[in-house]
Structure 1
């Protein structure tokens, strides 16, 4: 069963491989009349683009997006929007030594067992390169959500390996390569990453994503819960091994008197629920936290096997992110935007006649 599409009414189909001629996305269900240009999408792709600092992969991809369909005279037509991003800096020779072996922690082995064949060049379909089309699609969702409902989605890194990053201000997030909300900790992050790169190793990270001004009432009680759909989408992001909504695992140690967000005539007093109760949005900020594992492609030699089941040592050469979490923030933002837009369209379709807006009784 193919599963390359995310969403029900706002549907994003992702295609391509890391070292193929191009990657891209087809978006079906975007409402007509949205002013849209390649520049609207490019600004988000540039935030995710590789080669932007010494702390990420040095693969030099411009990630220039081309809109092939679905836009006429600067506005969406309601028909499928096809987006193309050409690969221009692939170096397939870097992967010659892992054609018949499997990188520990990577999808190599699982892909081979599932399909009986795999594309070793840059990881093929399992490469983080395939997050670029997701960001492109998310840019459209972000624009529509902001214009129609005033929804604002943004994220930041809250931890890099052992280094916890205390939140200081949103102003700092766009001014450093880590998306760190604290300027004081950036030199420590840089020194840590420089040492890690010299060692040829990798590390994980924690990313926080927040959606503001999300209307109440989105999501379903059972199988299409908003939090379930968010978790489903986020787990589709390469290297994500954990998703928390609101208090997440901290709720294990909280008492009901603390965890339950008290409601007053002026609103909720806290947000341990992360903006979602019973699978349905409350109108509070949606708060999501992601745990991202260390990159599997590292220079340190590790034991593995080859396709014949024989023991080997694997060393990965080439250009790789020592921490994929550094570029994950705009990707996580895009995934959250896609889910919220899809849920908004579904809510309008089902409950538009009696859907309560903020301030209505």
Structure 2
């Protein structure tokens, strides 16, 4: 499912294009008709991303909570205001990144349709079709019909006078009261981009250091820390040279704190570039290559059977709580 950087990027897209605007809400699929009717005609007032969940506030104290899960996706169409501080939104954005991002006339693509050039300059308006999710099948061609026709099973459509956002296949999509929203937040672990990172470090360290659960499972527990998924889990543990099977309470405190601080850094990079870049100290050519291909972007993730980039030992993949765990049995012994 989309990891923390993706959801923060999606929230920023909503902040630029929906907050302070009146929104028409509908459920073409019909499964969210009652919720859409509650939101229809209201003004979006605030958006928050915490870990893998997004909360969009509307007037009269209503909140829309969305968890994309494994198959959810947001598709944006119309005039989209691009943030100059992060990679361009002209394309696919999600856990596996974006498709078709452009900088001027330049384009970097790999076989998976990913790229990561950063948009430079003042915000601009561009008419595009954008998908934000983990898994997508390409982009629709730009069209002139407005609003755009409904394609597929759209759970929720949010529409302003110039921008459309269609939600498909989420794990969770519900309208919450302020108390319900706060209760959901209370169940989530710290997110480096929400609140004080130093306080988040203390909270994360305290929880991990008292748990008998393996650290490899704790990092995926959203009540322990928000936003880490399969990719970041594998990479953070490798970068810390930490065995994923070590009980949390047996991991040295300085290692736990180091993992948190590394997560702070990697999450910021992910939000800024749209890529889960976990390699360090690359020269310009190697960096560009890594940004253009996920095969050159990670230490261990998705490298089962391939030699460790440091020691040469074959990377192992195993099942851990029904998810694939990649690690080096020598470097992380």
- TM class by shorter chain equals under 0.3
Choose 1 or 2 for highest CA Rg: 1
Name which structure has the greater RCO, CA cutoff 8 Å, separation 6+.
1
Give the TM-score normalised by structure 2.
Answer: 0.27
Give the TM-score normalised by structure 1.
Answer: 0.26
